[in-house]
Amino acid sequence: MLSVRHMNLSFNIIICGAGLSGLFPGIALAKRGHRVTIVGATLQLSEIGAGIQIPPNSSRILIDHGLRSKLEESLLCPSE
């Protein structure tokens, strides 16, 4: 008997919320072969708020998704 892990199942998935907590599961699921639709409440994407803090566990997830160079490009260090 085949386990679910060995079957090539593909699902249609809808994620409500286009913030980081919606985008990264969407990326991970799409990389596994699922069809993902992400919906958000805003009509237009724009910057909201003053910035984002990324704790170590979150940065590991970003790096695992191949975004290390993008993180390094956008590092902001306080002026000395």
- pLDDT tens-digit readout, 57-67: 888 888 888 88
- Phi and psi at residue 15, to the nearest 5°: -115, 125
The pLDDT score that the predictor gives to residue 36 is 96
pLDDT < 70 positions in the chain: 1-6, 45-52, 76-80
pTM: 0.59
Report the alpha-carbon distance of residue 78 to residue 39 in Å, rounded. 35
